[in-house]
């Protein structure tokens, strides 16, 4: 009997989300993407489809509870189940007022925590409810969740990356994910975290254009002496989403080219 194709629900449509979606589709996974920007979703879905992959999308504002509750059934209606959720969508709140705590604005704090942590709560809640209702698949699991954190949640850098609301949001994601992993393991649902450092994505455009940060990366990320490519994070994410990691849960995989061990 032919094994059904896996279904991955990925939030976000650029950067790491786009790289992971494309690699997953190339590996034969059916991909469902959602983000707030219709043009990005459509462009990514069209690219995957043109290369022979299977991809659908739904536009949603993930900080809106009702929008998330609408997005998840769209995926199930299209593909029948959800084997894995990869929560990638998030922001740097710097332009909204994030920064060192004594300078951080209330708006910067609220927007950053809502976009990075509250949206993930909404997505996890709806998708895990779906997974709990799914039969156990051939790999012995009902589903897998992978949440996006950051090394800034546990390895701060004061000179260039003093965004304390962002760090708080990423630390919250790690704590939530570990608690989820403990609770849902008996239900055959895995929950892990991936924590990158400075990656070449649209969100890191400020850093990419700052000569001081680029020089700093030669020491802080010595394996590449630069920003990390999104595809490197995507490959690590695919491992944690796939059956190759079926007995791993409650873990935080750091993808940082040496950031956390380089002072």
Task: Name the catalytic one among 57, 166, 183, 184.
Answer: 166
Q: Is 119 helix (H, G, I), strand (E, B) or coil?
A: helix
Degrees (nearest 5) of the Cα angle 126, 130, 131? 115
Reply yes or no on whether 166 is catalytic: yes
Of 9, 51, 54, nearest to 28 (Cα)? 54
Q: Are 140 and 246 in contact (CB under 8 A)?
A: yes
* H or E element that contains 69: helix 65-79
Residue with tokens 């995507």: 234
User: What's the rounded Cα separation, in Å, for the pair 130 and 136?
Assistant: 12
Q: 44: buried, middle or exposed (CB in 10 Å: 19+, 13-18, 0-12)?
A: buried
Q: How many helices (H) and strands (E) does the chain have?
A: 9, 9
Q: Calculate Rg over the CA atoms of the chain.
A: 18
Residues involved in catalysis: 166
């Amino acid at each position: 009997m032919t094994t059904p194709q896996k279904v991955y629900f990925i939030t976000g449509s650029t950067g790491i989300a786009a790289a992971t979606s494309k690699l997953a589709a190339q590996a034969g996974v059916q991909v469902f993407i959602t983000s707030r920007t219709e043009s990005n979703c459509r462009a990514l879905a069209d690219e995957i489809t043109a290369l022979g992959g299977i991809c659908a999308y739904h536009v949603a504002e993930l900080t809106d509870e009702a929008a998330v509750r609408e997005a998840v059934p769209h995926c199930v209606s299209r593909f029948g189940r959800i084997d894995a959720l990869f929560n990638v969508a998030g922001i740097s709140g710097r332009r909204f007022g994030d920064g060192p705590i004594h300078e951080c604005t209330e708006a910067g704090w609220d927007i950053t925590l809502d976009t990075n942590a509250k949206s993930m709560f909404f997505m996890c809640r709806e998708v895990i409810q779906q997974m709990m209702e799914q039969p156990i698949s051939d790999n012995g699991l009902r589903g897998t969740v992978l949440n996006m954190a950051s090394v800034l949640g546990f390895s701060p850098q004061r000179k260039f990356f003093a965004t304390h609301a962002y760090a708080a949001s990423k630390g919250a994601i790690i704590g939530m994910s570990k608690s989820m992993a403990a609770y849902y393991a008996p239900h055959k649902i895995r929950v892990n975290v991936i924590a990158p450092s400075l990656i070449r994505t649209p969100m890191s455009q400020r850093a990419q254009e700052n000569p001081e940060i680029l020089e700093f990366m030669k020491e802080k990320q010595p394996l590449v002496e630069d920003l990390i490519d999104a595809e490197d994070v995507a490959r690590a994410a695919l491992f944690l989403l796939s059956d190759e990691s079926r007995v791993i849960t409650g873990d935080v995989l750091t993808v940082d080219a040496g950031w956390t061990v380089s002072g």
